[in-house]
Amino acid sequence: MKAFLLLAGLSKRFWPLTEKSLFPICGKTLLEIQIENLRAAGIQDIVFIGGKHNLDRAHAAYPDLPTVEQKDLSLGMRGALLDALPNIKEPAMIVGGNDVIEPAAYSALIREAQGKDANGALLAKRMETYFPGGYLELSGERIVSIVEKPGEGKEPSDLVTIVAHVHNDPQSLLEALKQTAKESNDDGYERALATLFGSKIYHAVPYEGAWHPVKYPWHLLPLLQHELSLIKKPLIHPTAVVHPTAVIEGNVILEEGVRVFAHATVVGPCTIGKRSIVANNALVRESSVGDDCVIGYSTEIKSSVLASHVWTHMTYIGDSIIGSNVSFGGGSLTGNLRLDEQEIASFVGKESIATGLTKFGCVIGDGCRLGIRCALNPGMKIGKETFISGGVLIDQDVPDHRYVSMKGGEVVVRENRTSAPPPAARNVFKKAI
C-alpha cells in the first residue's frame, strides 16, 4: 500500500498564518503528526504531493520520503493526483494533509479495501449533528454517491467522508480524473469518484474516533486539546531548570534548556519548547509554547498555541494562536469571550464564518509587534509583519504589513514601513534575563 499525502494547497484560508502543514503544535508540525499516525498504522511507503511553497521544507524534514511536485496548483486535488498517479500499479491510499485522525482508522480502511469484491474504500465520520461536508449515499455497504452539503435534515446518511481513501486500482482513478472536465477543478476528484461509483464497488468505513480537520486557523485549538490529551506523564529534560518555588502540576513537558523562574506555574497538560523561559509569577496552562519563547513576568497563557520566539510581559493570551517572532508589550490583552457568551465568528475575506467556539481569542501572524496596553477583541486576526502602537483596541482584522496607531481619538491604519528584527537580534535581551 502506497500512501499519498496531499500537501499542495496554498493555505489561503489559514491566514494570517501561512503553511498549515508546517505549523508547530506540541513540539511537532501537523506534517509530523500525520506521518506518525500513518507509521503507527504500519504504513511506511509514503509520498508527499506538494507545491514549491512547501515541498522543500517537507522533504528536509523527511529526506527519505519521495516527493511529487504538483505542476499547477489551480487544478486542486485533481491536479495533484494527475501528477502523482501515472505508473502507480499498487493500491493507493489518498490522505488529506489537513485531516488528523487516529492510526486505527487507517488500519480499518486498509482491511476493508482488501475485503472480498472491494475495489476500494472511503473513511467516513459518523456525525451526530449536521456538518457541512460530503455525505455518503449507500446501498448496503456500497457507496452510491457523495452528496455535498445537502442541508440539515436532507442528509442521505450520518456518514461524512474524510479524505482517507483507498483505490485498489489507481489507474482506473487516473482515467476517471482525465475524463473529468477541466473546468471542474474545485470538485474534479469528487466527480471522478462519482464515475467510479457507477462501475466499481467502494465500501464505506464508518469511523467514530477523533477527527480534526484543519481548514481555518482556529481549528488548531481543538487539535491542541487532542494532542495535549495524548501526554500521559510529565517529562522534564535533564537540562531544564525549575526554581524551587515554581509549581509544575500535571502532565507537563519541559524540553531542553527550559527555565522556569520563581513563583511561576505551569499546569498540564502542557508543552514548553526548547530554551524557552517562563518568568516570575507567570502562569501557563493547557498550552503549547514553542522554542525560544519568553513568557515574561506576570503573564498568563491559557489554552493557546505559540510558535517560536514569542515574547510577552504582563500579558494575557487566551484561546489564541500566535505565529513566530511576535512580541507583546506590557499590559497587552486578548479578549476571548463575548459579553453575551455566544459563539464567536471570524471573517474570511468578506464572509463571516461561525467558528463553533465560545472561547476564541486571536490569531497573529509572524513578525508582529504589539505595543503596551494593546487590546484585541475576540476572534481578531492580525496579518504578518504588522505593528500595533500602544493603547490601541483592535476590533477588526488587520491585513499584512500594516502599522496601526491612535491619532486624535481615531484608529489609523497605514502601510508598515519597517519590519520586525530577526529573532537572533533579541539574544542580547535574553542573556540579561
**Cα–Cα distance for residue pair 306/321, rounded to 1 Å:** 6
Instruction: Order across the sheet with 316-318: list the strands.
Output: 247-249, 265-267, 283-285, 300-302, 316-318, 333-334, 375-376, 393-394
Whole-number Å distance between alpha carbons of 24 and 112: 33
**What CATH architecture applies to the domain 2-215?**
Alpha-Beta Complex (3.90)
Give the pLDDT confidence score for residue 185 in this predicted structure: 64
What is the per-residue pLDDT across 22-80, written as a single tens digit (0 to 9) for each? 999 999 999 999 999 999 999 999 999 998 888 999 999 999 999 999 998 888 899 99
Write the burial class of residue 433 (CB in 10 Å: 0-12 exposed, 13-18 middle, 19+ buried): exposed
> What's the predicted TM-score (pTM) here?
0.93
Rounded Cα distance between 147 and 161, Å, is 10
CB 7 within 8 A of CB 52: no
* Mean pLDDT in residue range 167-191: 86
- What pLDDT score does 184 carry? 63
Domain 219-431 in the same topology as domain 2-215: no
CA–centroid distance for 124 within its chain: 20
Residue 433 has pLDDT above 90, yes or no: no
Q: How confident is the model at residue 249 (pLDDT cuts 50, 70, 90)?
A: very high
The residues spanned by each domain of the chain are 2-215, 219-431
Residue that is written with C-alpha cell 461536508 in the block? 133
CA angle centred on 21, ends 220 and 294, rounded to 5°: 60
What cell does 76 get?
486542486
The architecture that CATH gives domain 219-431 is 3 Solenoid (2.160)
Q: Residue 256 half-sphere exposure, CB side, CA atoms within 13 Å?
A: 1
Angle at the Cα of 249 from the Cα atoms of 34 and 260, rounded to 5 degrees: 90
